[in-house]
Amino acid sequence: MSFDKYILVTGGAGFIGSHLVRKFVNNYKNYFIINIDNLTYASNIESISDLEGKPNYKFIKGDIADKSLIKKIFNQFAIDSIIHLAAESHVDNSIENPLIFVQTNILGTINLLEEARLKWSNSKSSHLFYGISTDEVFGSLNKNGKFSESSPYLPKSPYSASKASADHFIRAYGNTYNIPYIISNCSNNFGPNQHVEKLIPLTINNILNRKKIPIYGDGQAVRDWIFVLDHVDAIDIIFHQGKIGETYNVGANTEKNNLNLVKEICLLVDKKKNTSNSEDLIQFVADRPGHDMRYAIDSTKIMNQLKWFPKTNFEKGLNITIDWYLEKFS
């Protein structure tokens, strides 16, 4: 059976990756999707178990930092596109152990770029290295303004520094070796199948277990939220219609400070579970070192040029997310 494209998706058992892989496998039968994931604590292979046995899908357990494995995959499959999501992503963990973030986020990215350089240099086929990045590479905003594609990189944590480095290497390989690339920087994702260490599922889980809900500092740090399936739609559109060498910011223009978000979740869970006073579980804890106070993404470019728009407003997405976790945790 022949396919029009052989796409290597890294991190395809993770939160965003699992939703993306499912969409591509089910919607693009003419694409063969190779999903590599190291199945670390934040991955969930069960979330994509329904894809096993599909004729256009192959899962490989492995580490993108393993250079010999990446070479083997490129030798086994005629990879013409890479959608690179694999990353260590929890800021707190990066503060505790930054070297793991260097290993996966920087060296892993370079391994992929190197193999693409070697395999694609004499090929006449069309190729794409698509790096999925974060708004955290831009640092922190004051009360006004938003991050645009031309905002300077000012990472403040080992995590954001590792992602910034990966972005720089992708651009460097594009400029030096003519690797066709696109980068997108997205705001905070939420939705079903996110690991419980993240703020929204952690809050839901702690409410159900009547455990304290930790909030850093005074809870006034602001994040710009986007429902995960809207991000997946943006990745899809950028992959197919994005311009080589360009960067696209992806966000849903939904800013929430952490305290108000947690209170909103408390009220919704109390209503759905017929509980009460979950706000009393909120506990302020010492602020994270180097904590960025505000993120906000300007998505004008992707909206104007590629006609992508978020479809799920925050309230709807939050209800979907809470209902999913209530079923999972019950």
Helices (H), the chain: 15-27, 67-76, 91-96, 98-101, 108-120, 158-177, 199-208, 228-241, 258-273, 300-306, 314-329
- 292 a catalytic residue: no
Pairing relation of β-strands 181-186 and 247-250? parallel
Which residue among the candidates 37, 80, 88, 135 is catalytic per the annotation? Answer: 135
At position 185, the amino acid (one-letter code) is N
Contact 243, 184 (CB under 8 A): no
Lookup: tokens for 311 = 């479809």
Helix, strand or coil, per DSSP, at residue 19: helix
Give dist(CA 317, CA 89) in Å, integer. Answer: 22
φ and ψ at residue 94, rounded to 5 degrees: -70, -30
Give dist(CA 305, CA 96) in Å, integer. Answer: 40
267: phi > 0 → left, psi -120 to 50 → alpha, else beta; which? alpha
Q: Give 66: exposed, middle or buried? Use CB within 10 Å, 0-12, 13-18, 19+.
A: middle
Is the Cα torsion angle 3, 131, 17, 93 positive or negative in sign? positive
- 136 a catalytic residue: yes
Lookup: tokens for 193 = 């199948």
Which residue among the candidates 136, 230, 233, 292 is catalytic per the annotation? Answer: 136
Helix, strand or coil, per DSSP, at residue 143: coil
Q: 3-state DSSP helix/strand/coil percent for the chain, to nearest 5?
A: 45, 20, 35
- 130 a catalytic residue: no
Q: Which residues are known to be catalytic?
A: 135-136, 159
